[in-house]
Amino acid sequence: MYIRENLRWRVIWKYAWPSLLFFTIYDIVVCYLYGPLGFRSLDIPWQPVGTLGVAVAFYVGFKNNGSYDRFWEGRKLWGGIVNYSRTWAIEALEFVTSVVDAPDVQASPASAQELTIRHRRLVYRQIAWINAVRLNLRRQPELWDEAVAPFLEPAESEQMRGLSNPPTHILRAQAAEMRVLRESRGLLNDFQHVTMMRVIEELFNLQGGCERIKNTPFPRQYAYFSAVFVWLFALLLPLGLIGEFEKMGPSHFWLTVPFSVLVSWVYYTIEWVGHHSEDPFENEMNDVPMTAICRNIEIDLRQLLGETNMPSKIEPVNDILY
Amino acid sequence: MYIRENLRWRVIWKYAWPSLLFFTIYDIVVCYLYGPLGFRSLDIPWQPVGTLGVAVAFYVGFKNNGSYDRFWEGRKLWGGIVNYSRTWAIEALEFVTSVVDAPDVQASPASAQELTIRHRRLVYRQIAWINAVRLNLRRQPELWDEAVAPFLEPAESEQMRGLSNPPTHILRAQAAEMRVLRESRGLLNDFQHVTMMRVIEELFNLQGGCERIKNTPFPRQYAYFSAVFVWLFALLLPLGLIGEFEKMGPSHFWLTVPFSVLVSWVYYTIEWVGHHSEDPFENEMNDVPMTAICRNIEIDLRQLLGETNMPSKIEPVNDILY
Amino acid sequence: MYIRENLRWRVIWKYAWPSLLFFTIYDIVVCYLYGPLGFRSLDIPWQPVGTLGVAVAFYVGFKNNGSYDRFWEGRKLWGGIVNYSRTWAIEALEFVTSVVDAPDVQASPASAQELTIRHRRLVYRQIAWINAVRLNLRRQPELWDEAVAPFLEPAESEQMRGLSNPPTHILRAQAAEMRVLRESRGLLNDFQHVTMMRVIEELFNLQGGCERIKNTPFPRQYAYFSAVFVWLFALLLPLGLIGEFEKMGPSHFWLTVPFSVLVSWVYYTIEWVGHHSEDPFENEMNDVPMTAICRNIEIDLRQLLGETNMPSKIEPVNDILY
Amino acid sequence: MYIRENLRWRVIWKYAWPSLLFFTIYDIVVCYLYGPLGFRSLDIPWQPVGTLGVAVAFYVGFKNNGSYDRFWEGRKLWGGIVNYSRTWAIEALEFVTSVVDAPDVQASPASAQELTIRHRRLVYRQIAWINAVRLNLRRQPELWDEAVAPFLEPAESEQMRGLSNPPTHILRAQAAEMRVLRESRGLLNDFQHVTMMRVIEELFNLQGGCERIKNTPFPRQYAYFSAVFVWLFALLLPLGLIGEFEKMGPSHFWLTVPFSVLVSWVYYTIEWVGHHSEDPFENEMNDVPMTAICRNIEIDLRQLLGETNMPSKIEPVNDILY
Amino acid sequence: MYIRENLRWRVIWKYAWPSLLFFTIYDIVVCYLYGPLGFRSLDIPWQPVGTLGVAVAFYVGFKNNGSYDRFWEGRKLWGGIVNYSRTWAIEALEFVTSVVDAPDVQASPASAQELTIRHRRLVYRQIAWINAVRLNLRRQPELWDEAVAPFLEPAESEQMRGLSNPPTHILRAQAAEMRVLRESRGLLNDFQHVTMMRVIEELFNLQGGCERIKNTPFPRQYAYFSAVFVWLFALLLPLGLIGEFEKMGPSHFWLTVPFSVLVSWVYYTIEWVGHHSEDPFENEMNDVPMTAICRNIEIDLRQLLGETNMPSKIEPVNDILY
Mean pLDDT, rounded, for A50-78 = 93
**Interface contact E58-A58, CB threshold 8 A:** yes
State residue A6 phi and psi, 5-degree precision. -115, 140
Helix (H/G/I), strand (E/B), else coil: A186: coil
Q: Find the CB nearest A179 among B3, B94, B199.
A: B94
State pLDDT tens for residues C120-154.
Answer: 999 999 999 999 999 999 999 999 999 999 999 99
Same domain, E80 and E204: yes
Chain B CB contacts of A40 under 8 Å are 249
Same domain, D270 and D192: no
**Interface contact E7-D221, CB threshold 8 A:** yes
Residue type, E163: L
Same domain, E159 and E44: no
The predicted structure's pLDDT at residue E41? 85
Same domain, D228 and D88: no
In a domain, B115, yes or no: yes
Q: Residue A9 — very low, low, confident or very high, per pLDDT cuts 50/70/90?
A: confident
Burial of E306 (0-12, 13-18, 19+ CB in 10 A): exposed
- Among B245-249, B310-314, D31-35, E71-75, name the one with the lowest average pLDDT: B245-249
Q: Following DSSP, what letter does each residue of C76-94 receive, concatenated?
A: HHHHHHHHHHHHHHHHHHH
**Interface contact C41-D65, CB threshold 8 A:** no
Mean pLDDT, rounded, for A39-55 = 91
In a domain, B197, yes or no: yes
Touching C (3+ Cβ pairs <8 A), the chains are B, D
Q: How many angstroms separate the CA atoms of D129 and D134, rounded?
A: 9
Residue D190: name the closest of C259, A278, E95 by CA. E95
CA D181, D186, D190, D191 dihedral sign is: negative
Task: Say how many residues make up chain E.
Answer: 322
Q: Residue B4 — very low, low, confident or very high, per pLDDT cuts 50/70/90?
A: confident
In a domain, C247, yes or no: no
The predicted structure's pLDDT at residue D176? 97
- Spans of chain D, pLDDT less than 50: none
Same domain, B66 and B34: yes
Same domain, D178 and D258: no
- Spans of chain C, pLDDT less than 50: none
Sequence-distant (6+) residues with CB within 8 A of C105 are: C182, C183, C184, C185, C186
Residue type, D85: S
Residue type, A97: T
The predicted structure's pLDDT at residue A248? 86
Q: What ipTM goes with this model?
A: 0.94
State pLDDT tens for residues E220-232.
Answer: 888 899 999 999 9
**Interface contact C4-B66, CB threshold 8 A:** no
Same domain, D177 and D299: yes
The predicted structure's pLDDT at residue B251? 85
The predicted structure's pLDDT at residue E5? 83
The predicted structure's pLDDT at residue C207? 98
Chain E CB contacts of D44 under 8 Å are 245, 248, 255, 259
Mean pLDDT, rounded, for B29-53 = 91
Same domain, E199 and E249: no
Total domains in chain B come to 2
A246-278: burial string, b at 16+ Cβ within 10 Å, e else? bebeeebbbbbbebbbbbbbbbbbbbbbbbbbb
Chain A CB contacts of B65 under 8 Å are 62
Structural domain boundaries, residue D253: 9-42+224-275
Helix (H/G/I), strand (E/B), else coil: A282: coil
The predicted structure's pLDDT at residue D71? 94
Same domain, D101 and D172: yes
Same domain, E84 and E176: yes
Q: For chain A, what is the mean pLDDT? A: 93
Mean pLDDT, rounded, for E62-71 = 92
Q: Find the CB nearest D44 among E97, E259, E270.
A: E259
Same domain, E47 and E59: yes
The predicted structure's pLDDT at residue C276? 87
State pLDDT tens for residues A183-225.
Answer: 999 999 999 999 999 999 999 999 999 999 999 999 988 889 9
The answer to whether residue A318 scores a pLDDT higher than 90 is no
Chain B CB contacts of A237 under 8 Å are none
The predicted structure's pLDDT at residue A82? 97
The answer to whether residue E203 scores a pLDDT higher than 90 is yes
Q: How far is D142 from chain C (nearest CA, A)?
A: 28
Nearest-CA residue of chain E relative to D103? E101
Q: Following DSSP, what letter does each residue of A92-131 receive, concatenated?
A: HHHHS-S---STT---PPPPHHHHHHHHHHHHHHHHHHHH
The answer to whether residue B2 scores a pLDDT higher than 90 is no
In a domain, C31, yes or no: no
The predicted structure's pLDDT at residue D78? 97
The predicted structure's pLDDT at residue E214? 95
In a domain, B193, yes or no: yes
Nearest-CA residue of chain B relative to C286? B219
State pLDDT tens for residues D111-165.
Answer: 999 999 999 999 999 999 999 999 999 999 999 999 999 999 999 999 998 888 9
Ranges assigned E (strand) in chain E = none
Q: Evaluate whether E108 touches E126 at the Cβ level (below 8 Å).
A: no
In a domain, E311, yes or no: no
Mean pLDDT, rounded, for B28-35 = 94
Interface test with B, best of C263, C271, C298, C301 (most B CBs within 10 A): C263
Q: How many angstroms separate the CA atoms of C190 and C150, rounded?
A: 31
Helix axes D256-275, D220-246, angle to 10 degrees: 170
Interface test with E, best of A86, A115, A182, A237 (most E CBs within 10 A): A86
Q: How far is E273 from chain D (nearest CA, A)?
A: 6
B193-222: burial string, b at 16+ Cβ within 10 Å, e else? bbbbbbbbbbbbbbbbbbbbbbbbbbbbbb
Residue type, C159: Q
Q: How many angstroms separate the CA atoms of C169 and D301, rounded?
A: 10
Interface test with D, best of C39, C41, C44, C51 (most D CBs within 10 A): C51
In a domain, D80, yes or no: yes
Residue C139: name the closest of C169, C168, C166 by CA. C166
Same domain, D255 and D188: no
In a domain, C269, yes or no: no
